[in-house]
Amino acid sequence: MTSNNDLGFLALQKRLFKERGLDISQYKEKCLKRRISVRLRATEAQSYLEYMAVLKKDPKEYDRLFDTITINVTNFFRDRNTYSVIENKVIPELVSLKKKKGKKIIRIWSAGCASGEEPYSIAILFHEILKENIGDFLISIHATDIDEEVIRKAKKAEYETDTVSKIDMKIINRYFNQNQNYILKEEIKQMVRFKRHDLISDEPLTHLDIILCRNVLIYFSRDLQVRLFNKFYEGLNRGGYLILGKTESIAGEPARLFQPVNREEKIYQKS
């Protein structure tokens, strides 16, 4: 028998999709309910139905809820070992392949980019590796997230001291301007294009050389993970790289589509 609580949860799902286009039906239910309960407690709602009344009365609560549901924890060069492999293996091999084929276009997708630290970190790495030869390539980094508020923040490229505290001072001096906060220089900002995008319902990007989708898939059901791996496979160029979070991995049928480049850092290559 379906409980009133279950019916309320289903009604909330439908409301979020109808009003804001957010499809949460494929998220892991236990994790999702735990995150939504944070907002129920904050608004003193005793049930999902009461919380829907809160949403109707205060539309700004949608933004607070989305911020709680979506994963917006990120840092520059988060997981140094992962970025070390990207810097010393992935990017150099990609650049070498492009040179060998006489191609100049490099396309990267940061899926679930939050407030922009990840795509900007990749842009900095390309500058560090290519240096004065950066202009030899047309590099575009497409950064997407479902949360419009963090997208707006990411476009500003302005970060507080705590956010950049673990970055090497040489990198800070080279790529940031400083006033009260730290603002990325235009040469880095112009490499990244931000856009709202729902991994579940929107079409994936294509013709990509690297996809970073880190610490996002763990919140999705296994069936949806399989669908997304298939989408990533189709979106990648031959030999393109897929980079996941440290707690994520490719299992089951999709494992045939990718070969591991570095198992520990969860870096894969299109077979």
Model's pTM, two decimal places? 0.79
pLDDT of residue 97: 96
Q: Identify the pLDDT of residue 18.
A: 81
Two structure tokens written together for 46 = 């005793």
Q: What is the DSSP string of 133-171?
A: GGGGSEEEEEEEES-HHHHHHHHHTEE-HHHHTTS-HHH
Per-residue burial over 44-80, b = 16 or more CB atoms within 10 Å of its CB, e = otherwise: ebeebeebbebbeeeeebeebbbebbbbbebbbbbbe
What pLDDT does residue 66 have? 79
Q: What is the Cα–Cα distance from 48 to 246, expressed in whole angstroms? A: 33
Please answer whether residues 241 and 97 qualify as being in contact, where contact means their C-beta atoms are separated by less than 8 angstroms.
no
Quote the pLDDT of residue 71: 57
Please report, for the chain, the start and end positions of each structural domain, with discontinuous segments joined by +: 4-69, 80-270
DSSP class of residue 102 equals T
Please list the pLDDT of the chain residue by residue as tens digits (271 residues).
456 778 899 999 888 888 876 677 767 788 788 889 988 988 989 999 999 999 999 988 887 887 777 655 578 998 899 999 999 999 999 999 999 999 999 999 999 998 999 999 999 999 999 999 999 999 999 999 988 888 999 999 999 988 888 899 999 999 999 988 999 999 999 999 999 998 888 899 999 999 999 988 877 777 888 989 999 999 999 999 999 988 788 878 899 999 999 999 999 999 8
Residue 72 is predicted with a pLDDT of 57
Q: Tell me the CA distances in angstroms from 90 to 79, 94, 236, 239, 268, one per residue in order.
A: 15, 6, 14, 11, 10
Fold of 80-270: Rossmann fold (3.40.50)
For position 74, what pLDDT does the model report? 72
